[in-house]
Structure 1
């Protein structure tokens, strides 16, 4: 089985970016990918350092143009597509940062970003209400997929939660442009893969958006932390890699991290 990370630059107009994303999904599907991940808010510019009330013009419902394209591509190619949108709701002033998973054209999961930064040039708390549900593993027919979003990669509890629910692949859509974070970006993703013995697929934006220069590094990581495929620096494209679920489960038997956990000792992690 193959999985793919899409690396994409936001255009001036949303419909142009959506069309380009569709092309890249088709490219990944043509290479055999059965799971394709899009970057965080792939169709629109991402937030800038200064809060801007006008940014809410980019909000869309879960059945808006971004997810409509993702669902259509999922159905057309018979694959799983994980999308990411600035979700508007029926409640005035309430918005979410939401990832949606489509399998063969049908929505099977929506995960709202629960950990929101207001630091390092990303004032997301200004715009979004945090999600109230933990990540979970979603069955796609071929594998079980968990999703966390960007800033949440700094919180190992979230990926472990998805892994304990049976995730074999962790999808991480990101919008990462911070120079200091670039130094530890891959280190964190590799650690999630190793500690949880799963594959990690990470899709980042690329290119300059006002004050932010997104560095890409979209990739697929193996359970041993190795980089299995990566998009070239500064370019749009797809990273497609083959994954081996039998080998994954064999690794979990040889290195039984989940067997040797001691949850009774971890109470301090959830105490307020």
Structure 2
């Protein structure tokens, strides 16, 4: 039987206010994940910095870095040395006054393949991202890395089935959702649990509807008012959770078989049965019901 097995590592971390410490800790965890057999290593949203979007403060723009720049140079060198793919999200300064919540994909030879910039930008209590981030304008991208075809999407993107479908139609085998999501002080107990359940359910549904793998890597720890809940996980094309972290710092290791995608699409041929001639209204903001 043909197999194309690939080992993923999802690095779930606490972040401090010291970006140098955060970077050093992440590099150490990447090296350990490689030693554990990981070929694709996934980092959480804004991995290098604290989640500064809880407040509106101009000083935080100073945390942004260019692409390419110091972060990508260091990670590219490491990726080449370890022969691993690294998916690295961080705060990008694209130009004066234009900043993005971005993710870079670095191939196993150290090549910086490109950048995806977060399209859907939230603005909620504790998550004031519209102040900092310009919405991405480069479309949904798929990177044909050494080990798999990867489509990175970022946090709030994960609630929109259109983004996942477009990425899958472009050939993505693995949807990756770097994330910074958690609960506020008034969202504890059953409310917090229901939010976590909904968060996992929507992403498992993307795996099922598109017959591809999904990996979601979240932050953990308390930062300001937000308690990031962790629970990074990997889901199969049938929506089965293959591996999941708890609430604390953890690196999730999971093996996936890319050829499962072909088998799943033969059993449930959603792409075959799509009625693309009926979907034109989806491009409207709202549809009046005549």
Task: Indicate the residue corresponding to 2:204 in structure 1.
Answer: 190
Q: Cα deviations across residues 129-165 of structure 1 (Å, max 9, x unaligned)?
A: 1111221221012321111100011111001110000
Distance in structure 2 (CA, Å) of the matches to 1:63 and 1:34: 22
Task: Indicate the residue corresponding to 2:278 in structure 1.
Answer: 265
Task: Indicate the residue corresponding to 2:160 in structure 1.
Answer: 155
Distance in structure 2 (CA, Å) of the matches to 1:175 and 1:70: 21
Q: In terms of mean alpha carbon deviation, does 122-131 or 58-67 score higher? A: 58-67
1:58 counterpart (63, 88, 93) = 63
TM superposition shift of 1:11: 2.1
TM superposition shift of 1:194: 0.8
Task: Indicate the residue corresponding to 1:218 in structure 2.
Answer: 232
Q: Cα deviations across residues 8-56 of structure 1 (Å, max 9, x unaligned)?
A: 1112311111111111112221221111110000010113433111111
Question: How large is the Cα RMSD of the aligned pairs?
Answer: 1.4
The SS at the match of 1:89 is strand
Distance in structure 2 (CA, Å) of the matches to 1:109 and 1:256: 31
Q: What runs of 5+ residues in structure 1 fail to find an aligned partner?
A: none
Distance in structure 1 (CA, Å) of the matches to 2:147 and 2:224: 40
Matched, 1:68 2:87: no
| Aligned residue runs from structure 1 range 8-47, under 5 A | 8-47=13-52
TM superposition shift of 1:212: 1.2
Contact 2:143 2:150 in 1 (8 A): yes
Distance in structure 2 (CA, Å) of the matches to 1:21 and 1:186: 24
Task: Indicate the residue corresponding to 1:199 in structure 2.
Answer: 213
Contact 2:159 2:202 in 1 (8 A): yes
TM superposition shift of 1:206: 0.8
Distance in structure 2 (CA, Å) of the matches to 1:233 and 1:252: 33
Distance in structure 2 (CA, Å) of the matches to 1:65 and 1:227: 35
Matched, 1:115 2:115: no
2:178 counterpart (164, 169, 173) = 173
Distance in structure 2 (CA, Å) of the matches to 1:205 and 1:46: 9
Distance in structure 2 (CA, Å) of the matches to 1:242 and 1:89: 35
Q: Cα deviations across residues 154-184 of structure 1 (Å, max 9, x unaligned)?
A: 1110011100001000111001113453231
Task: Indicate the residue corresponding to 1:240 in structure 2.
Answer: 253
The SS at the match of 2:272 is coil
TM superposition shift of 1:264: 1.2
1:101 counterpart (102, 105, 122) = 105
Contact 2:85 2:146 in 1 (8 A): no
Contact 1:136 1:161 in 2 (8 A): no
The SS at the match of 1:5 is strand
TM superposition shift of 1:121: 2.2
TM superposition shift of 1:210: 1.2
TM superposition shift of 1:128: 1.1
Distance in structure 1 (CA, Å) of the matches to 2:25 and 2:246: 17
Distance in structure 2 (CA, Å) of the matches to 1:242 and 1:165: 23
Q: In terms of mean alpha carbon deviation, does 40-49 or 61-70 score higher? A: 61-70
